[in-house]
Amino acid sequence: MKSFKILGDTPADAIARNIASAMMNRRRLLQVAGAGATAAVVAACGVGGNSDTEADSSEDFSDTEKQVDWSTWIGYIDVDEDSGARPTLDAFTAETGITVNYNEDYNDNNEFFAKVRPLLEAGKPTARDLVTPTDWMAGQWISLGYAQQLNDANIPNKSNLLPSLVDVPFDPGRVYSLPWQGGYGGLGWNKAKVKELTGSDQLQSLDDLFGPKLKGKISVLSEMRETVGCIMSHQGANPSDFTSDQFFNALDYLEGQISSGQIRSVTGNDYLAALESGDIVAAIGWSGDVAQLGEEFQFAIPAGGGILWTDNILIPVGARHKKNAETLMNYYYDPVIAAKVAAYVQYITPVNGAKEEAAKLDASLPDNPLIFPTDADLTNVTPFMLLDADTEKEYQDAFQAVIGN
């Protein structure tokens, strides 16, 4: 059994206090985003298709249309607590004259891809210049021919990418993508509400999450890798190297927790609004998201282990503003800017030099393990195993059937 460690104690708690007032704006955003959210998400798209399909990407309007259209997840950019403005985005516009249409329209990877895939398959533009898929989904965009090759001449700060993130299996040498932020899949909860139900304000394992006192008060992610991966770790399997039997054993366990009523909902990013409202008190969730909610919430890598992941930015085929998008990528790979974003979002920054710049913002920031992981934490998380197309479809279809899609 791997050791258990709470993330967010001591120095990280100081960070949470420093940004507590800023969370009021974020909470209002989450409540709006979560209104009417349901437990179900759209069914996963199958993997495959014509890798030669291309949208018209021959013309770049960047010089005449000074804008970038970016689709991403909520809670992924710094926000001013008083005005609701996004300081680094505003500074980018002031510096370059490029306006960023920043759209928080990612709820989970499959749901977003289902919206844009028909356009991509038809060779039509998506009206987006940047998208933000997780590693495995970025691999699908690239393998299906839906991502444009980056022009490194427009991204000199690409040299600040952490060496460990350069040669990834889905994009060796980072020809098509750059990491945006990384994080963990694990346990998130409202400390006071969990204590009311269990007598303790701490959760240490999936045994605690799936314990009888939390029945009907929890949710899990509609992202297969985090939910099934955490369960596999709990069962003693390795999410980075597992058998089909181990996957389906974890899926059977999940099905039992859903059918028994232990799990209230299976959601994407909208689990945060449910935590805020009290509809749920705990979840399998994402590290930075939970940390941003404030001191009354806690994130932990569960005993048994959690899931390590990275979200990436890439440019879809057919994008109208490719050079502008690359200019934006370059801006966020400046360590000074990367540090400002990391200080707010509390996710793992991929930018070399950001740690030193973060120390200038707040001396305790380099000690925040959510942003700058410790070796001990990294031994307690693992990325999900890379799947071939047929296995991906088999597992996603089975997972979607279990969660009701």
Domain boundaries, the chain: 5-38+185-308+384-403, 67-182+309-373
Tell how many helices (H) and how many strands (E) occur in the chain: 16, 12
Report pLDDT for 81: 85
Q: How far apart are CA 398 and CA 405, in angstroms?
A: 10
Residues 222-276: pLDDT tens digits?
Answer: 999 999 999 999 999 999 999 999 999 999 999 999 999 999 999 998 899 999 9
Report pLDDT for 58: 63
pLDDT tops 60 at residue 44:
no
Could you please report the per-residue DSSP string of 51-89?
TT-----S---TTTS-EEEEEEETT-S---TTT---HHH
Q: How far apart are CA 157 and CA 320, in angstroms?
A: 22
Q: How far apart are CA 395 and CA 16, in angstroms?
A: 37
Residues 283-301: pLDDT tens digits?
Answer: 999 999 999 999 999 999 9
Sign of CA dihedral 2, 386, 396, 171: positive
pLDDT tops 90 at residue 40:
no
Rg (CA), the chain: 20
Sign of CA dihedral 359, 360, 363, 368: negative
Q: Tokens at residue 141, please?
A: 């965009």
Fold of 5-38+185-308+384-403: D-Maltodextrin-Binding Protein; domain 2 (3.40.190)
pLDDT tops 70 at residue 61:
yes
Tell me which residue has tokens 């495959």. Answer: 48
pLDDT tops 50 at residue 17:
no
Sign of CA dihedral 3, 363, 339, 345: positive
Residues 193-212: pLDDT tens digits?
Answer: 999 999 999 999 999 999 99
* Fold: same for 5-38+185-308+384-403 and 67-182+309-373: yes
Helices marked H in 199-283 — which ranges? Answer: 206-209, 224-234, 244-259, 271-277
pLDDT tops 50 at residue 38:
no
Task: Give the C-alpha distances (Å, rounded to integers) separating 69 from 62, 142, 316, 320, 325.
Answer: 11, 19, 11, 9, 8
- CATH superfamily assigned to domain 67-182+309-373: Periplasmic binding protein-like II (3.40.190.10)
**pTM score, two decimals?**
0.84
Residues 117-164: pLDDT tens digits?
Answer: 999 999 999 999 999 999 999 999 999 999 999 999 999 999 999 999
pLDDT tops 90 at residue 380:
yes
